[in-house]
Amino acid sequence: MYEADDPRSAMSANASGKSADTSASAAFGRSTYARFYDEPPQEADAQANTWYARGANFVVCYSQAKDGATFERRGQIDEYVLLLHDGALSATVSANGETQEIAGYSITMIPPGHSTITIHGSGEVVRLISTDNEDVVAKVSNPEKYVGAHPHVPQFAPWPKPADGFRIRSYSLDVPEEPGRFGKIFRCTTFMVNVFPAQGPRDPTKLSPHHHDDFEQCSLALKGWYMHHLRWPWTANLHDWQDDEHEKCLAPSVCVIPPRVIHTSAPSDPGDNVLVDVFAPPREDFSDQPGWVLNAADYPRK
C-alpha cells in the first residue's frame, strides 16, 4: 500500500513478525481523537495546563508550561520520555541522584524511580508514560476506550535494559535527513518515537493506507492540521462493522489508531505540519531496518 519511494515499502507486510490471526473478532478496539486545543485540560495550575490521553500501553501527557514549571515523578515504574520539540525551550532533569541540562529540540529518556523536570522558557512539553503507572492512567480523558483487555494488543512488556543501566539519555532532534530513512526514530525500553520533519500539505494521490496486526499507533500533531482516515475491517459478524472515519485534527491533538484498522494521515495545512508517531513498546519492524533507529546502540533488543 506504500508508494515505491516510501522507505516503508521495503518492509515485510506483517509488521510484528508474528503470524497474523485472521479469525473474526467481536471487536477491534476503538479510536481516540483528543483535540487538546478544543478541550479543557485535565490539570491546570499556575505553572501549566496539562492534557492526558491514553492508548492500550501508553499515556500522552501534553502540557502548555510556563517558565519554571516543574514536573515530578515519584515511584515511576519504568523508563519514560520527555519531548521538547520547541528549540527555544530547555529543561533541567534530575533522576536518582543524576542531573542534566537538556537543550530544546530534543528527546530524553528518563529512568524509573524519582525524577524532576524543570522547564526553562514557556511552551509545549510532552511526556510519554506507560500505563503501568496507575496514577497517570487515572487522569486520562478517554478511560472508556480501554475497559478490559484490548482484543489485539498483547500485554505490555518492556524491552531489555541498557547494558550500562538506566540513566538520563538525551538526544538532539537536529539530525539531517537521509535517503531511505523514515523520519527520526528513537527508542528506549518502553517507547519508540518517530519525529517527522515539518512538511507542507500531502499530495492526495500519494497517501499510504496500511495497518498493523497487533499494536496501536499514536499520532501526535504538534503543528498545522491533519486529516486522519481510518477504515475498519469487516468480519462475518455484521455487528463488528464500523463506518469509515475521516477526522480533521488541528494541533495540538492525538489520534490513536487500533490494530488492523487501515489508516493514513494527511498533513493539510498550507504551511508547516509536524507529526510525532508514538509506539509502546518499540516496534520490531522499524528496529529491523539498518540505520533507522538513531539511538539503537544504547538500547539492546534482546
Q: What is the pLDDT at residue 292?
A: 97
Distances in Å between the Cα of 253 and the Cα atoms of 51, 53, 219 are 10, 10, 8
CA distance linking residue 129 with residue 121, whole number of Å: 23
CA distance linking residue 120 with residue 278, whole number of Å: 25
Q: What is the pLDDT at residue 113?
A: 98
Q: What is the pLDDT at residue 21?
A: 38
Q: Which of 36, 11, 8 is nearest to 264 (CA)?
A: 8
CATH topology of domain 7-294: Jelly Rolls (2.60.120)
Q: What is the pLDDT at residue 1?
A: 57
The domain locations on the chain are: 7-294
Q: What is the pLDDT at residue 9?
A: 66
pLDDT of the chain, 302 residues: tens digit per residue: 555 566 876 675 444 444 333 333 346 999 999 999 999 999 999 999 999 999 999 999 999 999 999 999 999 999 999 999 999 999 999 999 999 999 999 999 999 999 999 999 999 999 999 999 999 999 999 999 999 889 999 999 999 999 899 999 999 999 999 999 999 999 999 999 999 999 999 999 999 999 999 999 999 999 999 999 999 999 998 988 999 999 999 999 999 999 999 999 999 999 999 999 999 999 999 999 999 999 999 999 87
DSSP letters, 43-103, are: EE-SSEEEEEEE-SSEEEEEEEE-TT-EEEEEEE-S-EEEEE--TT-EEEEEETTEEEEE-
CA distance linking residue 149 with residue 55, whole number of Å: 12
| Positive or negative torsion for Cα 124, 125, 130, 134 | negative
Q: What is the pLDDT at residue 4?
A: 58
Q: Which grid coordinates are listed for 42?
A: 485535565
Query: What is the number of helices (H) and of strands (E) in the chain?
Result: 2, 20
Q: What is the pLDDT at residue 50?
A: 98
Q: What is the pLDDT at residue 8?
A: 73
Q: Which grid coordinates are listed for 36?
A: 487538546
- pTM score, whole prediction: 0.92
CA distance linking residue 123 with residue 271, whole number of Å: 20
CA distance linking residue 186 with residue 18, whole number of Å: 23
Q: What is the pLDDT at residue 22?
A: 34
Other CB atoms within 10 A of residue 81 CB:
24
Q: Which residue has the cell 469509515?
A: 244
170-203 burial string, b = 16+ CB within 10 Å, else e? beebeeeeeeebbbbbbbbbbbbbbbbeeeeebe
